[in-house]
């Protein structure tokens, strides 16, 4: 934005690719605008960052033989399937640079002090310490209907629906039933009991306290389970319908 008397620039950040199209037409035509797209890092990008941070430089002042052995062992770990799986799990939860640094700090803290090397177990322990195990324990013995509700909430959030409630969740649930003709069809009263069960488990919560006088089914709610935690829960639940895994995977990789 500029004029003869003043100049200004406005910077906005959004996860929507069509953010500029949401501006009013007169705004888009009156002011010049540019859009920069920052793509999420790939697994290769993250691995290169990890290698850059952990590989020792030859001029680091440490014994040459130690540097050679240390770097050789790390290079072997970087090609290990367990390590790549570890990075994948980390990226599913949070692929930001700050989270990667926290992960590496923990891995180094688990270094074998006798040998002075970083074994693969150091990275696995670091990942385990960063995962919220109590939440995973709460997800293990959920009913099929409980999982349906969680998946429906995840789908609503993926559709960038800023506010939703039990009624919105039921509409999503019914649309799945109508589309796939599954046998997992329950009455609204049964679904509401499952909804309350998830509230008691603290896997979901109300969005704010402003609607305390509203009926529970109309109060905004939010999901307290990450995409990674829900994905692991679906894989570990042997009774989970295939359609739920299919729907969840489709939303994650669209």
Dump the DSSP string for 75-126: HHHHT-HHHHHHHHHHHHH---HHHHHHHHHHHHHT-BTTTTB--HHHHHHH
- Give domain status of residue 157, yes or no: yes
- Domain extent for 54: 43-131
* 127 and 155 part of one domain: no
Is 64 part of a structural domain of the chain? Answer: yes
For residue 199, what pLDDT is reported? 93
Residue 247 maps to a domain: yes
* Element of type H or E holding 203: none
Residue 203 belongs to domain with CATH number:
1.10.10.10
Count of domains forming the chain: 2
In a domain, 35, yes or no: no
Residues 6+ apart with CB under 8 A from 182: 176, 241, 243
- Domain shared by 53 and 120, yes or no: yes
Q: What does the angle CA 228 – CA 223 – CA 176 come to, to the nearest 5 degrees?
A: 85
Shared domain for 168 and 225, answered yes or no, is yes
pLDDT of residue 132: 58
Same domain as 216, residue 184: yes
pLDDT of residue 42: 86
- The closest of 4, 118, 148 to 50, measured between CA atoms, is 118
Residue 219 lies in a domain: yes
Q: Of 66, 96, 131, which residue constitutes the final position of a domain?
A: 131
- Same domain flag for 95 and 175: no
Domain-located, residue 36: no
Whether 148 and 202 map to the same domain: the answer is yes
pTM of the model: 0.52
pLDDT at 106: 93
Say if residue 172 is in the same domain as residue 215.
yes
- 118 lies in the same domain as 160: no
- Residue 134's pLDDT is 65
Query: Of the residues 101, 131, 161, which one is the last residue of a structural domain?
Result: 131
pLDDT 10s digit of each residue in the chain, 254 long? Answer: 556 677 777 788 877 777 777 777 777 777 777 778 877 788 889 999 999 999 999 888 889 999 999 999 999 999 999 999 889 888 877 778 888 999 999 999 999 888 889 999 999 999 888 875 667 777 878 888 999 999 999 989 888 777 899 999 999 999 988 888 888 889 999 999 999 999 998 899 988 766 567 788 889 999 988 887 888 788 777 788 888 888 777 655 44
221 and 195 belong to one structural domain: yes
Residue 161 sits in the same domain as residue 103: no
Q: Which of 84, 103, 131 is the last residue of a domain?
A: 131
Same domain, 142 and 194: yes
The bridge status of strand 221-223 relative to strand 204-206 is antiparallel
For residue 31, is it within any domain? no
Let me know if residue 124 belongs to a domain. Answer: yes
Residues 111 and 84 in one domain: yes
């Amino acid at each position: 934005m500029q004029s003869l008397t003043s100049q200004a620039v406005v910077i906005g950040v959004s996860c929507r690719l069509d953010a500029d199209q949401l501006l009013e037409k007169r705004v888009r035509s009156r002011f010049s605008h540019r859009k920069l797209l920052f793509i999420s890092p790939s697994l290769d990008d993250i691995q290169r960052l990890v290698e850059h941070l952990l590989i020792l430089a030859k001029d680091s002042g440490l014994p040459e033989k130690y540097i050679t052995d240390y770097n050789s062992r790390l290079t072997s770990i970087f090609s290990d399937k367990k390590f790549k799986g570890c990075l994948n799990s980390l990226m599913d939860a949070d692929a930001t640079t700050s989270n990667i640094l926290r992960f590496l700090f923990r891995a180094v803290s688990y270094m074998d002090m006798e040998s002075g090397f970083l074994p693969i177990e150091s990275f696995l322990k670091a990942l385990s310490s960063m995962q919220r195990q109590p939440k995973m324990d709460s997800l293990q013995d959920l009913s099929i209907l409980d999982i349906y509700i969680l998946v429906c909430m995840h789908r609503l959030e993926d559709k960038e629906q800023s506010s939703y409630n039990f009624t919105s969740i039921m509409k999503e649930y019914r649309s799945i039933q109508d589309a796939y003709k599954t046998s997992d069809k329950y009455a609204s009263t049964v679904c509401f009991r499952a909804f309350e069960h998830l509230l008691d488990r603290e896997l979901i919560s109300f969005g704010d306290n402003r609607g305390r006088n509203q009926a529970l089914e109309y109060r905004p709610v939010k999901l307290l389970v990450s995409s990674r935690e829900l994905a692991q829960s679906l894989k570990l639940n042997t009774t989970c319908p295939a359609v739920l895994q299919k729907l969840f995977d489709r939303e994650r990789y669209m």
